[in-house]
Amino acid sequence: MSHEQAGSISFFQRYLTIWVFLCMVAGVFIGYTMPAVPAFLDTLQIMGISIPIAVLIWIMIYPMMMSVDFKQIQAIGREPKGLFVTWAANWLIKPFTMYAISYFFLYIVFGAWIPADLAQGYLAGAVLLGAAPCTAMVFVWSALAKGNPGYTVVQVATNDLIVLLAFVPIVKFLLGVSQVIVPYGVLFMSVFLFVVIPLAGGIATRVLVVKEKGIEYFEQTFIHKFDSVTTWGLLLTLVIIFSSQAQVILSNPIHILLIAVPLTLQTFFIFFIAYGACRLLKLPFDIAAPAGFIGASNFFELSVAVAIALFGVTSPAALATTVGVLTEVPIMLTLVRIAMATK
């Protein structure tokens, strides 16, 4: 990579917070002034999963998937502590702290501004987020923090398997809702789109390039051709997300900010628990950072789908899960910076 490329990338990364903010504003502007654009993009779906977002996620995680080495995956059995930390944070801690933190803020701290019936709906949406950890975007956060690709894939895959068993009983217990169902179509399609396809493509690329040019060329030259791809994909994703939710944002700005407070605090709290536990266990940074990100992130595609199925499209619960979508990227980018600063 040339000095010019490196300089432009470092300049871009240095002011990434500004670009993120501008993309959020641009998304809202597009959604408000040109609603036909997000309306059209919203029609491009498979089982409720946005195809444009899926393509951008492929672009963002493709470089990381090319870096997956099966020797890394085989070595996980000798160092399983990172997996144990992730599982404990996601399933023994996160859903219950999400309920406690959200209840405290929605009912007590913000009780004067949020009626009790709305608070109940917002709490339900928050719990659905807390009980469904680990979105495909974790691959992006791990890539930005130079996480171990193979370990991240295994962590994501195992957590997606646990969702099948743990999601329903946890939601029933915390919300007292008896008719909870897991939209298995959404779950399996997400795994296929965001794990199987990009992993297969990345491995195939790695094998072909290494066979033709050798491992040194692959690691020193080829992989660096994609250094800025993840960032550009991330910014375009932000524009699409915020354009699709522009009307919701502009019609409920105060409540969106209030809902965002407990969701943000919960995200930071779980990250520091998982990341801190890994550091105390003296796990390498490239395992500790992804473990923290997986614990902090939410499987918002699943949460939104369940909220709509249980409570309706215009319900307070659906709005709360939407806020989870809006806050995911800027908060997780902040956590990436924190992780890199404590490397």
Tens digits of residue pLDDT in 160-212: 778 878 888 888 888 876 555 656 676 677 777 777 888 788 888 888 988 88
DSSP state of 214: -
Residue at 128 is within a domain: yes
Residue at 3 is within a domain: no
Q: Are the beta carbons of 13 and 333 closer than 8 angstroms?
A: no
Residue at 5 is within a domain: no
Asked if pLDDT for residue 99 goes beyond 90, the answer is yes
Share of the chain above pLDDT 90, in %: 26
Q: Of the candidates 229, 187, 226, 197, which has an alpha carbon nearest to the alpha carbon of residue 209?
A: 226
3-state helix, strand, coil split of the chain in percent (to 5) is: 85, 0, 15
Residue at 9 is within a domain: no
User: Which of the residue ranges 9-18, 242-251, 276-285 has the most confident prediction, judged by mean pLDDT?
Assistant: 276-285
Q: Of the candidates 156, 190, 197, which has an alpha carbon nearest to the alpha carbon of residue 302?
A: 190
CATH classification of the domain holding 219: 1.20.1530.20
Confidence of residue 3 (pLDDT cuts 50, 70, 90): very low
User: How many Å apart are CA 342 and CA 234, to the nearest integer?
Assistant: 23
Residue at 168 is within a domain: yes
The residue range of the domain holding 241 is 14-341
In which element (H, E) is residue 52 found? Answer: helix 51-66
Q: How many domains does the structure of the chain reveal? A: 1
Residue at 245 is within a domain: yes
Structure tokens given for 169: 């009983």
Residues 6+ apart with CB under 8 A from 193: 46, 49, 54, 57, 136
Confidence of residue 238 (pLDDT cuts 50, 70, 90): confident
Confidence of residue 1 (pLDDT cuts 50, 70, 90): very low
Structure tokens given for 216: 């040194």
User: How many Å apart are CA 98 and CA 269, to the nearest integer?
Assistant: 10
Structure tokens given for 111: 């009780």
* Cβ neighbourhood burial of 177 (10 Å; 0-12, 13-18, 19+): middle
Residue predicted with more confidence, 255 or 61:
255
Residue at 219 is within a domain: yes
Share of the chain above pLDDT 70, in %: 88
Residue at 1 is within a domain: no
Q: What is the dihedral of CA 186, 190, 192, 194, to 10 degrees?
A: 170
Region 306-335 average pLDDT = 83
Region 299-317 average pLDDT = 78
